[in-house]
Amino acid sequence: MEQTKKDIFISTMSGKFPSNKILMIDKELDRVDDSKFVLLQSLNYKDPILILVLSIVVGTLGVDRFLLGQTGLGVLKLLTCGGLGIWWIVDLFLVMDMAKEQNFNTFYENVNRF
Protein backbone atom coordinates (compact mmCIF):
# COMPACT_ATOMS: atom_id res chain seq x y z
CA MET A 1 0.00 0.00 0.00
CA GLU A 2 1.07 3.55 -0.63
CA GLN A 3 2.94 5.04 2.33
CA THR A 4 1.05 8.35 2.14
CA LYS A 5 -2.36 6.70 2.57
CA LYS A 6 -1.11 4.78 5.56
CA ASP A 7 0.40 7.88 7.16
CA ILE A 8 -2.81 9.86 6.65
CA PHE A 9 -4.88 7.05 8.18
CA ILE A 10 -2.63 6.81 11.22
CA SER A 11 -2.40 10.56 11.75
CA THR A 12 -6.16 11.14 11.46
CA MET A 13 -7.23 8.08 13.43
CA SER A 14 -4.54 7.85 16.10
CA GLY A 15 -6.82 9.49 18.68
CA LYS A 16 -9.38 6.74 18.20
CA PHE A 17 -7.00 3.89 19.05
CA PRO A 18 -4.92 3.04 22.13
CA SER A 19 -1.53 4.70 21.80
CA ASN A 20 0.29 1.47 22.64
CA LYS A 21 -1.29 -0.25 19.61
CA ILE A 22 -0.53 2.32 16.90
CA LEU A 23 2.65 0.46 15.91
CA MET A 24 0.65 -2.76 15.49
CA ILE A 25 -1.87 -0.91 13.30
CA ASP A 26 1.00 0.49 11.24
CA LYS A 27 2.37 -3.01 10.64
CA GLU A 28 -1.06 -4.39 9.75
CA LEU A 29 -1.62 -1.59 7.23
CA ASP A 30 1.64 -2.53 5.48
CA ARG A 31 0.19 -5.83 4.40
CA VAL A 32 -3.31 -4.81 3.23
CA ASP A 33 -4.30 -4.07 -0.34
CA ASP A 34 -6.22 -0.99 -1.49
CA SER A 35 -9.68 -2.57 -1.35
CA LYS A 36 -9.21 -3.71 2.25
CA PHE A 37 -7.75 -0.32 3.12
CA VAL A 38 -10.94 1.36 1.89
CA LEU A 39 -12.95 -1.02 4.08
CA LEU A 40 -10.81 -0.19 7.12
CA GLN A 41 -11.24 3.53 6.51
CA SER A 42 -14.99 3.27 6.20
CA LEU A 43 -15.57 1.36 9.44
CA ASN A 44 -17.66 3.12 12.06
CA TYR A 45 -15.10 3.93 14.74
CA LYS A 46 -16.39 5.42 17.99
CA ASP A 47 -15.22 8.91 18.93
CA PRO A 48 -13.72 8.64 22.45
CA ILE A 49 -14.05 12.36 23.14
CA LEU A 50 -17.72 12.41 22.18
CA ILE A 51 -18.37 9.42 24.43
CA LEU A 52 -16.57 11.18 27.31
CA VAL A 53 -18.62 14.36 26.84
CA LEU A 54 -21.85 12.36 26.73
CA SER A 55 -20.72 10.45 29.80
CA ILE A 56 -20.21 13.72 31.65
CA VAL A 57 -23.57 15.13 30.58
CA VAL A 58 -25.89 12.11 30.61
CA GLY A 59 -23.70 9.33 31.97
CA THR A 60 -26.03 8.59 34.84
CA LEU A 61 -28.58 7.50 32.22
CA GLY A 62 -26.17 4.93 30.79
CA VAL A 63 -25.87 6.63 27.40
CA ASP A 64 -22.12 6.03 27.31
CA ARG A 65 -22.58 2.29 27.80
CA PHE A 66 -25.27 2.17 25.12
CA LEU A 67 -22.89 3.89 22.68
CA LEU A 68 -20.24 1.31 23.47
CA GLY A 69 -22.68 -1.46 22.62
CA GLN A 70 -23.06 -2.61 26.21
CA THR A 71 -26.85 -2.55 26.31
CA GLY A 72 -27.26 -4.61 29.47
CA LEU A 73 -24.86 -2.43 31.44
CA GLY A 74 -26.51 0.67 29.98
CA VAL A 75 -29.91 -0.45 31.25
CA LEU A 76 -28.46 -1.32 34.66
CA LYS A 77 -26.72 2.05 34.86
CA LEU A 78 -29.96 3.77 33.86
CA LEU A 79 -32.01 1.94 36.49
CA THR A 80 -29.49 2.69 39.26
CA CYS A 81 -28.91 6.34 38.23
CA GLY A 82 -25.29 5.62 37.48
CA GLY A 83 -24.85 3.34 40.44
CA LEU A 84 -25.96 6.19 42.71
CA GLY A 85 -23.28 8.35 41.08
CA ILE A 86 -20.36 6.10 41.93
CA TRP A 87 -20.43 4.11 38.69
CA TRP A 88 -20.83 7.36 36.77
CA ILE A 89 -17.66 8.81 38.33
CA VAL A 90 -15.69 5.62 37.67
CA ASP A 91 -16.85 5.58 34.04
CA LEU A 92 -15.58 9.13 33.53
CA PHE A 93 -12.09 7.67 33.82
CA LEU A 94 -12.78 4.52 31.79
CA VAL A 95 -15.01 5.31 28.81
CA MET A 96 -12.34 6.84 26.57
CA ASP A 97 -10.05 3.83 26.96
CA MET A 98 -12.96 1.44 26.43
CA ALA A 99 -13.93 3.24 23.20
CA LYS A 100 -10.33 3.17 21.93
CA GLU A 101 -9.98 -0.52 22.74
CA GLN A 102 -13.28 -1.28 21.02
CA ASN A 103 -12.09 0.63 17.93
CA PHE A 104 -8.87 -1.38 17.89
CA ASN A 105 -10.80 -4.64 18.17
CA THR A 106 -13.04 -3.56 15.28
CA PHE A 107 -9.98 -2.70 13.19
CA TYR A 108 -8.16 -5.92 14.02
CA GLU A 109 -11.18 -8.15 13.34
CA ASN A 110 -11.69 -6.56 9.94
CA VAL A 111 -8.02 -6.48 8.91
CA ASN A 112 -7.82 -10.23 9.53
CA ARG A 113 -11.25 -11.09 8.11
CA PHE A 114 -10.14 -12.22 4.65
Q: Given pLDDT bands bounded at 50, 70 and 90, which one contains residue 114? A: low
The more confident residue out of 39 and 17 is 17
Q: What is the mean pLDDT of residues 33-51?
A: 91
> Looking at the 3D structure of the chain, how many domains does it have?
1
Which domain does 49 fall in, by range?
Answer: 3-111
pLDDT in tens, 82-99: 889 999 999 999 999 999
Residues in Cβ contact with 99 at an 8 Å cutoff, skipping those fewer than 6 apart: 16, 46, 47, 48, 51, 67, 68
pTM: 0.88
